[in-house]
Amino acid sequence: MGVEGVRRRARVAVIGVGMLGVCVGWNLARLGAEVVLVDAGRPGEGVTDWSFSWVNAANKTARRSYFELNVAGMAEHRNLAADIGPDGWWFPSGHLRWADDPAGQENLLNSAALLAGWGYTVEVCTGAEVRRRLEPALTVPDSTPVLYCADEAWVHGRRLVGRLVRRAVAAGAELRTGTRVRAIGTGPGRTVRTVTLSDGSRLDVDAVVNAAGPDAADVAGLVARHLPMRREPGFVARIDCARVPVHRAMHAPHVELRPDGPGTVLLHSREIDALVDTGAQPAELARLLHTSAGHVVAELGTARVARTRVAHRPVPGDGFPSVGAVPSVPGYYEAVTHSGITLGPVIGRLLAAEVLGGKRAGMPADFRPERFT
Ligand SMILES: Cc1cc2nc3c(=O)[nH]c(=O)nc-3n(C[C@H](O)[C@H](O)[C@H](O)COP(=O)(O)OP(=O)(O)OC[C@H]3O[C@@H](n4cnc5c(N)ncnc54)[C@H](O)[C@@H]3O)c2cc1C
């Protein structure tokens, strides 16, 4: 059941203004709700700003329903770009992936066959073709098979969040930054009634949306709910270069890289993530990433590591999204997921309709919060 009719305009506090929170909040405001966007820091500066930000479903084949949700996420991004304009945040330049060992290459070819069988746009090129058609600066060997997914993209998350915050505010939303939600008050039947902020203010609300990303378990705890979350740190580096020598997101051997705007390339690697908890120093992790990047694009070897960050993926305990109402706490909703860059816009649209109208149909049952009880 949604909050429609509880009062003339439902008042909803969205806790956390990253990719998930802003997408839910903007859609709620467009649908006529009285929205308060609350962030402990600044919008878009949480994990959203330190994401690889690859919009895809190719990496989401563990469960068919999850793959389909991510395909819907890709389509929603295209609609969003048509709706609000693509400038500065939407980069639909496709994605490349290759491996440097026979087992890895065989895995990629098997993955391409699976994806093609599921109707996904994927092309197997050679390294020579890729250099000729797409990325002249790569060192990939001529005969290496390279998967090219032309419908994929990358997103500048912080800029998109900023754009949607402005739209939400123009639609009537209130923005409160630099203040943390400290308490959620409930009334009879555990129904959500109030939100208390660290600046001392208290808001009367009909509903709250927990979009606190890596801190979502703490916010769930405010309504005595246990939301299990995995610990999945990621190490990300931004390097400055006079000229950005790559044009799209790519998974190369030992490193992922993509442009990040004029003069900056973003680097990440799951292999380096695995070292975060070993006590390795950030400077050493950055050096390893930078060395791998230099092997993929020689020009990057002379660039400078400008900034690094350990960011925590918001991953519910079973690895899948937790999105929707929690029936035991009326008025409390979750929007917590990994792959939140890909999924934010589609989750935002579906969850806003659920909050205001009680429509649960859009979100597959296997991603609903009540599976964690
Ligand atoms: C290394 C790495 C690579 C990734 N790669 C990809 C990728 O390629 N593609 C993809 O789709 N996804 C990727 N992801 C995942 C994606 O970045 C996240 O799923 C997404 O950014 C989550 O957005 P969010 O809004 O939930 O969290 P955040 O952006 O962290 O926003 C949460 C906000 O909540 C605020 N907050 C927390 N607690 C409170 C409180 N009590 N009160 C008020 N505010 C609060 C925080 O200040 C923060 O601004 C990656 C993540 C990492 C770490």
pLDDT tens digits for range 55-100: 999 999 999 999 999 999 999 999 999 999 999 999 999 999 999 9
What are 27-49's pLDDT values in tens digits? 999 999 999 999 999 999 999 99
Contacts of 345 (CB under 8 A, 6+ apart): 23, 73, 76, 77, 79, 80
- CA–centroid distance, 127 to ligand 1, in Å, is 34
Q: Are residues 249 and 278 in the same domain?
A: yes
Can you give the residue range of the structural domain that contains 136? 95-150
Contacts of 158 (CB under 8 A, 6+ apart): 44, 45, 48, 49
- The pTM (predicted TM-score) of the whole model is 0.97
CA 169, chain centre distance (Å): 22
Q: Is 81 part of a structural domain of the chain? A: no
Q: Are residues 308 and 321 in the same domain?
A: no
- Residue with the smallest CA separation from ligand 1 atom 49 is 46
Q: What is the CATH number of the domain that holds 166?
A: 3.50.50.60
What are 146-174's pLDDT values in tens digits? 999 999 999 999 999 999 999 999 999 99
- The structural domain count of the chain equals 3
Q: Are residues 241 and 308 in the same domain?
A: yes
Q: Is 88 part of a structural domain of the chain? A: no
Strand 192-197 versus strand 181-186 pairing type: antiparallel
C-alpha–C-alpha distance, residues 312 and 171, integer Å: 31
Q: Is the CB of 210 under 6 A from ligand 1?
A: no
Q: Is 241 part of a structural domain of the chain? A: yes
Q: Is 225 part of a structural domain of the chain? A: yes
Q: Are residues 133 and 272 in the same domain?
A: no
Q: Is 109 part of a structural domain of the chain? A: yes
- At which of 293, 312, 331 does a domain end? 312
Ligand 1 mutation target, pool 14, 37, 52, most atoms within 8 A of CB: 52
CA 300, chain centre distance (Å): 26
The whole-number pLDDT of residue 364 equals 82
